Structures are given as C-alpha cells and as structure tokens.
Structure 1
C-alpha cells in the first residue's frame, strides 16, 4: 500500500512536471488583462471628467482673459447657444453623479480609534480578490497543479512595482497621485504573498506523505531557490507592516529596497518563466529612476527660518515649477547625506518664472530629520537637492465655493491653495467664496501663517470675494485624541485678527459635519463646491464622512480632495 502511494505521488509529480505551462501563462494573461482593464477604466474616467469639466463652463468664466486656461475658448462661437446649454446641462448631470458616487464611496468606517479603509477601497479589494480567486480556480485542480498560483503571483510583480514608483505611468494615465497608488501597491503585494503561499504550501503538501521524495525535492536547486524566494518575500511583507513602517521608517526603507532586489533575483533563479515578468517591472523601475534623477532632480539654495511652535520654514530657490499643493522631496546634506524628506509646497514666491523660481515649505519638528532641521540656526543658508514636483493637487480656482480644512501642519497644503485662489481672483477667476478652517493645538502655531492670512484678508477687503477664516484652537490642557462625531466644544471667541469680523478664533474642537453643513447651506443648488482636507487620518476621515453624509443629487455638487498626514 505504501509502495502504491509512493507510485501515485511520483505519477502526480510527473503529471505536474509535464503540464503545458502555456496554459498557466494564458491564465496569467487573464489576470494581467483584468488589471489593465481596470487601469483603462480609470484612465477613461479621468479624461471624461476632465472633458466634462471643460464643457460645464462655470458662470463668469469669461471673466478670465487667459487663453491658456481654456484652449477651446473660441469653440463656443461655432456652436448655437441652445446646443451649448444642453451640453452644459448634460455635463453637469454626469459630473454630479460622478461626485455623488465618489463621495459616498469615500466614507471611512471606524471602530473606536481604529480607522478602516474607505468603502470604495474595501469594495475594490473585494472585486480584485474575487477576480484572483476566479482565475486561480478556473479549470484547475490546485491540489494536482499548484503552479497556477505561482504564475499568478509572478503576474502581480510588475504591477506592484509600477504602483510603487513615484513617476508611475499609471499616474500619468489615471491622474491618481503616486502616494495614493502606494496604497494599491500594498494590496497588490499582499496578493503576491498569498498566491506564493498557496503555490508553496500545496507543493509541500503533495510531497509530505513520502519522506524520501520530500527530502529529494528539498535538496533540488529549484526548490532551494523557491524556498529562499518565499522566505525573502515573507520577510519583506512582515517588515512592511504599519508598526514597523511608521516607527522605524529609515530601517524599513533601507531593508525594503534591499529585500525587494534580493526577491527579484531569487525568483528568476527559481523558475525560467520569471524573467519575462521581472524584466517588465525592472524596466518600469529604471524609467522611474531616470525621470527622478535626470529630469526631476535639481540643485537648490536653501534658507532656514525658525518659527514658533517648533516649525521650520525652508525657502528653496531652484529651476523648478511646482504648483500650490504639490510636494517635493528634499535632501539637505547639512542634516543628512542620504535621507530624502517629503514636504508640501506652501507658497510660490515671485521673482522667477511663472509658477517657479523660488518656493517655501514648512516642517514641524516631529521626527529625527525635522528635529535636526529645526536645530539649525535661523537664517542659515545651505545647499539642498530637490526632487519633484509630485502629487495631483485640485484645481480649486475652477469652483465657485471652496472649503479648506487643515489640521496642524496640514495647513501647508491648504495655505498654498488659498494663495493660488487669491492670484486667480486678481485675474477675474470664478471663485467667489472661500472658508479657511484650521485646527491647531496651540495659539503659537498661528505665527506659521499669520502674515499670509493677514495678506489674504487685506487683498479681499471691499471686494465681491467672500473670505472667512475659522481657527479652532485646542489648548495644551485639552489633551487626548479627537473623537469622530464629537461636537465642537466652545468656550467663547478669542481676539480676532485686528478685530476683522471675517476671522473667528474659537477654543475647542471642530466637528466637520457642522462646518460643512454651514458652508454648503449658503451655496446655490447648482453651484460647484470643492472641499479640501489635509491633516491627520482622524481629521481626514471626519471630513470624508461629513461629505458622504451631506452629498445629494439635488443639492450643490461637492467634489472632495483629501491628503493624509501622519503626525
């Protein structure tokens, strides 16, 4: 009986060894086609929304004389007013449906202090998991042929690499910024680990009943490389978990690159079918590095300005043309010879090319790099290397009403957008109302952007442009996390900026839903509203959930843009 079992095991092994691997490549192609179809869908959606926004010309857009902002500005002259109005109505309806669905899918469930992924992300993960399971099990007996799982794992590798690149071709196609694609990179990498686990465990389960055959296989070069590949992949996965990634980021970044390179080498040694997948990913990685270092990297002069509340303003002068809301990676040899740190562009300074020449970034001293930066003397000038710009900031100057919500140093993002709108208003832009909401932990943080806020108030005085500034101050004695849904607790207004009635300083915590409903309540039913949130995950989740609850198909169209900071 044992001999029969061993013969059966050998027959199964021989059958598996003689399977036509082109069939497995075919199913790998099915998975590749699904992922490419998803990218194509996101690309078409991105360009369709962009086209609809151009057709849905806001009222007053003719006040902007800049022809560059509307390449088809002369097109309406050849279209009858009736057809133009119908096109605008259709575009507005489609944009409203798109915004409504996007806002509802952005709802972020939470369990106490634990925030889950957004509803849309969860649904996308479930669809992706279902597709992988279908391709994995379709016309296959994994017990007899675990190679299907191995080929599908190989298929995910180039997509995982593409999603991790800063200059990803996926960003160029879909308009999704690389830091948001990085979340999908983690999902794709998790799928790689699961498929590799299925592939390895089922093969070992086949060999396990026959000890001599198991030992024979474990001594073979192919299996040794396979086990080494799987071990490296598991180590890569474990060291990428949030506790290590957040608390030991430098350690994570170094080992992640090292282990990823080792994994790519080992998997090519494990199977001759791997190079066709790995080379695709390596080509994308090479393209990313070529763009990063040959096109997007610039030498810069940097000047350090020390601000209250442990904040540093870094003024950079280089041949770079960022927009407000872009972020850059900065290497300061006086602080670290190898560590690049991301910073959001908080202001574009005049004096260079349009939108370029010099700009500022702000950094709160919360980590080793920013602590060393803050330790430099005020007025220090040094050399810096700047890579960028990155990110896809919203075009807030195309909306009639804009609500900017920031927490702590997240104001570097919203302040840049506010300044961009100020310049747009001077050129006759369409934005008529802005509310700037800033949640801070102490009055000393007001000094970061006090002059900028004063300038914005002064420039909009006695104009048709409505600017409201609301600053919620949580004093040091009011410690503890901000609870989702907690009503804002007011202890009365503080002294406003020069007694300007447009400024409200309130001690307490802000509830995003109250702020949003008060702002949207003053908007017309057909008006376009842009809500921008930047700050810690709790604040962004609060704003996202408020927008999801407030959005409707009959009220103002609300477009949401979120940037998460982990402070």
Structure 2
C-alpha cells in the first residue's frame, strides 16, 4: 500500500505493530507499462524518502560543508598563504558578499547581505525545482496508482528532512556554529528561512490530499475515520502559529508573548508531526536525528549555565542617561562584543525567559585589578523585562538580583583585535555599551603589547570612535564615560612610540537647540566642512561633540581606508583595518555597504584587509 491506515487497539494513533521503519515490500498489480511508470525514479512512493528527503539533507550539508571548510582554512592556513594575492582576492570577494545589503527606508526594512540572499535564492531554486520539476503532480486516472498525490509525497519528505536543520539552527550552542565559526545570531536568518520553506512545503503536502479526496468524494469519510488527518491538522496549525508569530514585525511587537509560547507550540508541532508520520519508511530517523542534535545542544548550553557559570548576583543602578547599569562580579571569561542570555530569578513571569544583553566591559585577570572581573550591561528600558528592571532600579538604587547567565556567545577574539593597525568603532543609541567594551579591549591589548614589547606594529596605531544618539543626556553620559576610560588607560603614557592615537566623535542627531548648543547645522553630509561644537584634546586623545549632525558613515569608512593607505606607505607595510559597529538596522546597513565598497580598495592593494564585525540590537 502507499498509505498506511490506522487499526484499532495498541498505542493510540500508531499502526500496529510499532516499528522503526515501515516495509518497502511492493507488489505492483498493474500492467507492465503502468508499473514501469509508477516505479520510475521520481515517482516511486517506496523510495521517495531516499529520492527527496536525502537529497534535501545532502543539499543542506553541502552548504554547511563549504562554510566549514572555509572556516578551517581561515583558522589554520599559514600566514604566507594569507598574504598571497589569490587569498586576498577570495577574501575580499567573500567579504563583499557578506557585507553588501539593500535597504528600503520607506518600509524600514534592510535586507540581509547579498551572500545570504544568494543562498536563499539557491534554496528556493532547489525546493521549487524538486517540487514542481518531476511529473506528474497527481496520478493519472487510467488505473489505481495510489492514494498519495506525487507532489504531496515529495513535498512532505522534503519538509520532514528540514526538521533537524530547523531545530539545529534554533539553539545558541549549536553544531553548525562550531563547524562554520558563524555565531548563532547570524544563523537566525537561516532558522527563519528553513522554517518558512518547511511551512510552504507542508502546505504543498496538505492541499493535494484535500483536492484528491474531494475529487473522489470521500473527504468527509477520511476526516471521520483516518487519524492521519487529525494529526496532520494539529501539526499544520501549530506550524502556522510558529511561522506567523516568527515574522519580524509580529515577533518584535509581541516579543514577550512570543518567547513564552514559542516553545510550547514547538513541542505540540513536533509531537503531532511524529504521530502523523507514523513510522512511514524511514520517517522516524529524522526525528531521532532531530532529538539527538537538539538535546545535545540543549544539554551543552544548560551545563554551561548551571554547572560552569553557576548562580550570580547582579546589582542594578539607574543612570541619569536613562540606562540601567547592571554589574555582575564573576570569574567567567569573555571577549569584547560578546553577549550572554540572562535569566532573572524573580517571582514574576520573566523567570521563564532568558534575554540577550551585550557585555560592555573587559575581562581582566584578577592579578591586574586585585579583584574579580565584572560583567557590565547598559540596558535601554523598553517593555517587558527591561522596563521592569528600570522600575526596580529607580525604586531601589543599588539593589541586587540573583541571575543565571548562559554564554557568552559571538564577539571578536583578542587575537583578531590585536591584528588591526586601525580600528573604527561605530555605535548608535544603546549600542554605546558595545563600543566601550571594544575601546577598553583595544587599549588593554595595546598596553600588554607595550609591556611585552611584541606588538608587531610600527609606530602608533589609530583608534576612531563614532557614537550617535538622539538624546543629549545619553551623549553627555557617553562622552564622560569614554573620556574617563581612555584618560585612565595606561596605554597613553606607557610608550610614546606605541599605542593608539584616539579620536572620539559624539553626534547628537536631534534638532532641538538649547542655550548650550550651537545653531542647527543640519545633517553631516560632508564631515570635512563641519566644525564640531565642542572639542576636548588631551595628549593622544581628542573628543569632538557634534550637535544636530549625523555621522557620514560611508565617508568615515572611506577616509579610514585612505588614512590606512597613507600610514602603510609611511611605515612600508600595508595596513589592516577593523570596523566594529553596533546600532540600529539603518546604521548597520550603511556600515556594511561602506565596508563592502572598501573591499575593492583592499583588492586593489591600498590596504592589506578591511574586516567588519557587526552587532545588531536584535535578531
């Protein structure tokens, strides 16, 4: 048979006896020509799992394999290989694809990178080709070939094959990140897209059965007697909920509700999907693979949270800027720009959800400071847990809360940070905390290199920091904070021939004038013609405050490359430039495109490399 029917007794909703795989035994009773037609490669039901499900697995694994190989080569290739022209050209092209994006400001939408879009197009091509390419969509009516429409069969198997990848991409400590070196937050787009593809395939699987049984006139009978339809309906409803609630404009609007219900809906979906498949052919193999992958990743993250990191105490403080400062003494290790997921152990609903926060402090050895390091977050209060934290901090300054920390994830390694001759750090709004950590780490590494006399850099390096905000109080807080951190850095006085020449620009984008501000000078379209309203200069550190002006990000990146080219000619060695950005989607979009354009100049030999690390507010 091509369809397995439920019989009575035994385990509810499963055929008896329950097996791992159903039989592939087939005896065709049609004419030889009809049997040959029915049993051909693209139509044979008893091999559909191999033809369609395994092909989907191979397609996904091939993509992962390409990036895993690239990650291996980037990590372990010798330095002389990385200095060859073919390596530099390949790196520049891949970075162009990884950075270049497209924006629709009127819709407040900015696309993923060109490379991600091309992968999406490849996926669409694969699934559309595999679904609509083979013929027929429905069995001919000259004989009884089976009750499963061919288009529904192949779509169902491809949807099932995507399940392990959807779940693997959903977790933070995942195997794909370990293989490819791509952090989990940058894989979320593929978690969304594979989920959308799986839902689309599920719909293509569902409706042909309805059309077929409506044509036969037994749809009501099937609904009343076949449990496969009941389990299928529950599965598709749960999947529709997961898919629709995951759309960005819905998820962001109802984030707390989404977080609270997503896991429950996912459990319902997987359980009823499992019952719906009812061990047809090798269907349960995909659930076994999904469970093994997901549970291993889940165990890894929970082991790190509860056994390695353990319980922490967080101190809350409300700052005049409107930010909540959360400080957590810890013996954990982390690198700049990393984020963690924090679960506040309170008596309210937020106990059940963990929220991501970017670390705004540097991990220092206890012998450097004489005390344990502190993880510091600067949180912009919004709704949900951040609003509640702000209310608690305002009511009880300096109060403490018990927390659990999962992570850290992402970030830029210290080895990578120390490579750059020029650093351009760009931040907007609450992304300022990210930039503070990056600046601290750059200065800390430079100080260590000066003490050990092994920096590998000739002359002083350049550190440029650009911060943009609408809020004057936020700008005041940031200017004071970064000036304090840089002024107290030992780098500035450790060695006059090494360290960083540091320039900080603070941009207040609001057009509201005050007694202390200059007349409105509009947006900063040409920064060279713009005079800052406030300047503070101390030794190798300068701080400029621009009021009523937006930073010209493409111009900043272009001038940084030009400055690196000039510096390289001066010291006789091509420079390496790092661009680090955290801010709203529009800021990330502008920076990514500017960094993509600069790859042409890196390919032309003006600088050795230009590397971009971007950190979004949310994913």
Matched, 1:564 2:611: no
Q: 1:493 aligns with which of 532, 554, 557?
A: 532
Partner residue of 1:254? Answer: 260
Q: Corresponding residue for 1:78?
A: none
Give 2:587's match in structure 1, choosing from 516, 526, 539. 539
Shift of 1:140: 4.7
**Quick check: 1:503 aligned with 2:497?**
no
Question: For 1:419-470, what per-residue CA distance to the aligned partner results, in whole angstroms no more than 9, with x for missing partners?
Answer: 1111111122356221111112223213246234333245343533211111
Q: CA deviation digits over 1:383-418, x for unaligned, max 9?
A: 222111112435222211111111111122222121
Q: Give the direction of change, closer, same or farther, for the CA distance of 1:367–1:448 in structure 2 (3 Å limit).
A: farther
Matched, 1:95 2:88: yes
What RMSD in Å do the two structures reach over aligned CA positions? 2.9
Residue 333 of structure 2 aligns to a residue whose secondary structure is: coil
1:517 aligns with 2:552: no
Partners of 1:450 and 1:21 in 2: CA distance: 70
Q: How far apart in 2 are the matches of 1:392 and 1:26? A: 41
Name the SS of the counterpart of 1:301 in structure 2: strand
After TM superposition, the score normalised by the length of structure 2 is 0.78
C-alpha separation between the residues in 2 aligned to 1:111 and 1:47? 36
Q: CA deviation at 1:117?
A: 2.8
Q: Secondary structure at the match of 1:398?
A: coil
Q: Which residue pairs with 1:379 in the alignment? A: 398
Which whole-Å deviations, capped at 9, do the CAs of 1:254-281 have from their partners, x for residues lacking one? 2221111111111111122442212221
Give 1:68-79 correspondences, 5 Å limit: none
* Residue 29 (structure 1) shift: 0.7
Determine whether 1:549 maps to 2:597: yes
Unaligned runs of 5+ in 2: 1-29, 140-149, 450-454, 514-522, 569-573
User: Residue 322 in 1 paired to residue 316 in 2?
Assistant: no
Match of 1:122 in 2: 117
Question: Could you say which residue in structure 2 is the equivalent of 1:409?
Answer: 430
Instruction: Give how far 1:502 is off.
Output: 1.9
Q: 1:453 to 1:281 in 2, by over 3 A?
A: farther
Residue 301 of structure 1 corresponds to: 313
- What is the CA–CA distance in structure 2 between the aligned matches of 1:88 and 1:329, rounded to whole Å? 35
Q: Are 1:136 and 2:121 an aligned pair?
A: no
- Would the aligned equivalents of 2:168 and 2:294 in 1 still touch at CA under 8 Å? yes
Matched, 1:188 2:186: no
Q: Note if 1:216 corresponds to 2:221.
A: yes
Indicate if the aligned counterparts of 1:537 and 1:566 stay in contact, CA closer than 8 A.
no
Alpha-carbon spacing, 1:34–1:123, altered in 2? closer, same or farther (3 Å)? same
SS state at 1:348 partner = coil
Structure 1 residue 198: Cα displacement: 0.9
Indicate the residue corresponding to 1:47 in structure 2. 72
Does the 8 Å CA contact 1:326/1:390 hold for their aligned counterparts?
yes
**Hey, what does 2:408 align to over in structure 1?**
389
- Look up the match of 2:325: 313
Matched, 1:528 2:576: yes
| Matching of residue 451 in structure 1 with residue 460 in structure 2 | no
State which of 43, 52, 64 in structure 2 corresponds to 1:27.
52
SS in 1 for 2:506: strand
Q: 2:101: which partner in 1? A: 108
Distance 1:458 1:337 in 2: 39
Q: What secondary structure sits across from 1:189 in the alignment? A: helix
Q: TM-score, normalised by structure 1?
A: 0.84
Number of the residue aligned with 2:271: 265
SS in structure 2 of the partner of residue 366 of structure 1: coil
How many residue pairs match? The answer is 517
Q: Give secondary structure in 2 for the equivalent of 1:514.
A: helix
Question: Are the counterparts in 1 of residues 343 and 404 from structure 2 also a CA contact under 8 Å?
Answer: yes
**C-alpha separation in 2, matches of 1:566 and 1:88:** 33
Mean alpha-carbon deviation: is it higher for 346-355 or for 289-298?
A: 346-355
Aligned with 1:466 (options 501, 522, 527): 501
Q: Secondary structure at the match of 1:320?
A: coil
In structure 1, the gaps of 5 or more residues are: 1-7, 57-83, 479-484
Q: In structure 2, do the counterparts of structure 1 residues 223 and 560 end up closer, same or farther at CA, with 3 Å as the change threshold? A: same
Bigger drift between 126-135 and 528-537 goes to: 126-135
- Give the distance between the partners of 2:367 and 2:270, measured in 1 at CA: 43
2:427–2:583: 8 Å Cα contact kept in structure 1?
Answer: yes
The structure that has the greater radius of gyration is 2
Is residue 2:244 matched to residue 1:238? yes
Q: Residue in 1 aligned with 2:519? A: none
What whole-Å deviation, never above 9, does each CA across 1:215-270 have from its counterpart, x for those lacking one? Answer: 22223111222222122211221122222200111111122211111111111111
Relative distance call for 1:289 and 1:105 in structure 2 (3 A) is closer
Rounded to whole Å, the distance in 2 between the matches of 1:139 and 1:104 is 33
Alignment of 1:125-164 (within 5 A): 125-137=120-132, 139-144=134-139, 145=150, 146-164=152-170
Distance 1:291 1:444 in 2: 42
Q: 2:260·2:353 contact (CA, 8 Å) conserved in 1?
A: no
- Tell me whether 1:283 sits opposite 2:292 in the alignment: yes
Residue 362 in structure 1 maps to residue 378 in structure 2: yes
Which whole-Å CA distance do the structure 1 matches of 2:445 and 2:456 have between them? 8
Tell me, yes or no, if structure 1 residue 339 matches structure 2 residue 353. yes
Change (3 A) 1:132 1:539: same
Residues 1:323 and 1:423: Cα distance change in structure 2 (over 3 Å): same
